[in-house]
Structures are given as structure tokens and as C-alpha cells.
């Protein structure tokens, strides 16, 4: 992916949709987990947690995909968004430092996801435009 100022990641345990964008351009990618889709049914008094294990290779590939973004917003419907943030903090702290938000979001269309990201980053874009204008004076 090209490097753009902003990136939004929508992630669940099966896939991550990534949009990297600036005022005029958008690049998108979808990264899929290598783990098969599993439904775990937790039984009372069993020794397991009842949760599917985290696919660290999947999280690594998502991190690599947004490694050039200036600011990153992570969204998703369940725990995968927090697992991604924790993984990045632990294993890729340089990328984690650019996470500006983690938001719950069900299953938006690609257009809805990009519109949400543009609205989220609008204050930052206005600030950056103002700073560029002041530097040119």
C-alpha cells in the first residue's frame, strides 16, 4: 500500500479491511486470517477460556500494512480491535504509537467505513492545513 497520512482498520477474527487515505487519494486492502472460521462453545467447568486463539501472523500482516501511516484508527465489532492494539504495543511499538483511537463498529460497508474515517480525522486535517498555511507565510 502507498503511504498516506491516515489509516483506518476494521478488524474481526477473520479479516481486516484497511483504508489508507489523504484528501485526494484512497488505497484499500483486505487481509484474511489463516485460521479457519471457528465457533467455540464454552462448557461450564472446562479448563479453556472459550475463545479462539489470536492469529499472531494475521495481526503482524495488518501491522505491516499500516506501518507507513501517520495516524491509525482501529475499529471492529468485537475483541479483535483490542487484540490488534495490544499486539502492536507489545511487538511493533513504533506503529502502536500512531494509534489515535479504537472504536466499536459493527459491519459497515466500505463507503460507510471510509466516511466514518474522514469525519474522525477531519479536525486533524484542518489543523495540518492551518499549520502548513502558517509555515508558508
User: Quick check: is 61 in a domain?
Assistant: yes
pLDDT for 23 equals 77
Q: Which residues of 55-71 are buried (b: 16+ CB within 10 A; e: fewer)?
A: beebbebbbebbbebbb
User: Quick check: is 1 in a domain?
Assistant: no
Domain limits for position 28: 6-33+52-136
Check residues 46 and 109 and name the one with the higher pLDDT: 109
Q: What is the pLDDT of residues 33-57, one digit of tens each?
A: 987 655 444 455 555 455 556 799 9
| CA 51 – CA 9 distance, rounded (Å) | 22
| CA 76 – CA 113 distance, rounded (Å) | 10
User: Quick check: is 39 in a domain?
Assistant: no
In CATH, what number is assigned to the domain containing residue 127?
A: 3.30.420.60
User: Quick check: is 38 in a domain?
Assistant: no
CA distance from start to end of the chain:
34
As a whole number, the mean pLDDT across the chain is 84
Q: How many domains does the chain have?
A: 1
Residue 19 banded pLDDT, cuts 50, 70, 90: very high
Q: What is the pLDDT of residues 51-75, one digit of tens each?
A: 556 799 999 999 999 999 999 999 9
User: Quick check: is 47 in a domain?
Assistant: no
Helix (H) or strand (E) holding 96: helix 93-96
Amino acid at each position: 500500500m502507498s503511504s498516506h497520512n491516515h489509516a483506518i482498520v476494521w478488524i474481526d477474527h477473520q479479516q481486516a479491511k484497511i483504508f489508507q487515505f489523504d484528501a485526494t487519494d484512497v488505497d484499500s486492502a483486505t487481509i484474511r486470517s489463516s485460521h479457519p472460521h471457528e465457533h467455540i462453545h464454552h462448557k461450564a467447568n472446562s479448563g479453556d477460556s472459550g475463545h479462539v486463539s489470536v492469529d499472531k501472523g494475521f495481526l503482524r500482516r495488518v501491522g505491516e500494512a499500516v506501518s507507513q501511516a501517520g495516524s491509525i484508527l482501529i475499529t471492529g465489532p468485537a475483541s479483535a480491535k483490542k487484540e490488534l492494539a495490544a499486539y502492536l504495543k507489545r511487538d511493533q511499538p513504533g506503529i502502536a504509537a500512531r494509534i489515535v483511537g479504537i472504536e466499536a463498529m459493527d459491519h459497515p460497508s466500505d463507503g460507510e467505513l471510509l466516511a466514518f474515517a474522514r469525519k474522525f480525522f477531519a479536525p486533524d486535517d484542518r489543523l495540518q492545513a492551518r499549520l502548513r498555511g502558517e509555515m508558508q507565510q
